Chain A
Amino acid sequence: MGCIEELPYEVVLRGGSFKECRDYVRKHFRESLDVQPGFKIFDTHIIGIPPISIGLDGDFVIFPFTKPCHGTFLLRVEDRAEADRLRKRK
């Protein structure tokens, strides 16, 4: 598996619930897609309550990242190839 923590990410939202992260993506990004838990993003299986909303903003991918002790973060990573791959799934 990949390691999200090694990506050059920015934290968009922290300390919120998973649902708040989903609502934030839907409200703040015109482009988004819904996926199921286990969907691979940046070579990592995504964790979450379905549907999981992923935002797209140019070459940026905005997605929730959950860890047992730290809750869910909404992260933003610039990666044109991954953004294009996700855009094709819409």
Chain B
Amino acid sequence: MIGLADEEKPQRSALLVLGCPQVPVQTSIALYLIHRLRQAGITPVVAGNRSAITLLVVADPKRHYLGEALDLDRAIDQITEKKRDFDLCFVFIHNDAGVSYAATMGVISRARLYALIYGEHYDELVASIEFPCQNIAAKAVHNPMPLKKILDEVAPWAA
């Protein structure tokens, strides 16, 4: 059987849906995840509100990691209107709004859905998720390491 050479394989893409940047670990984990996705040959695209995107842009001024960044509402419009979709979708969740965004992505997108759940009350948020997705959850507020550890164990970039 003749396989496609690596350069002929269609490039996979991933959407990172950022939540409110109020919890410090979000920006750190987002940059780390972007790095791991790129290493795996997956093109990362980030969607978020202005503050969440600006935190990434300032932290990565030469765009070593960060690639395309979209306004969150615009990303939702494009996916809902079937103008665009992704292979993987990671939704950052530390509040009820994050759960709503994840549920929305589960309906409008065909991407494999991952919920990155963190913050002081992460366990309550995990319990509130009743739709199909893979949870990557840890009590992480200022220190990203507990969430990074779980993320590395799941290794969604290798799936």
Contact = CB atoms under 8 A, between A and B. Distances in A.
A50 B72 CA distance: 19
A50 B100 CA distance: 9
B73 A72 contact: no
Chain A contact patch, size range: 20 to 34
A45 B49 CA distance: 16
Given A68-B48, A68-B52, A38 B100 contact: no
A64 to B, nearest CB: 8
A37, A48, A70: residue with the most chain B Cβ atoms closer than 10 Å: A37
Given A1-B73, A45-B80, A38 B107 contact: yes
Interface residues of B, number: 29
Interface of B (DSSP majority class):
helix
B107 A66 contact: no
A49 interface: yes
Given A66-B100, A68-B19, A72-B100, A47 B107 contact: no
B19 A72 contact: no
Contacts of A49: 99-100, 103, 130-131
Given A38-B108, A68-B20, A69-B20, A48 B100 contact: yes
Interface of A: 1, 17-19, 36-38, 44-45, 47-50, 66-72
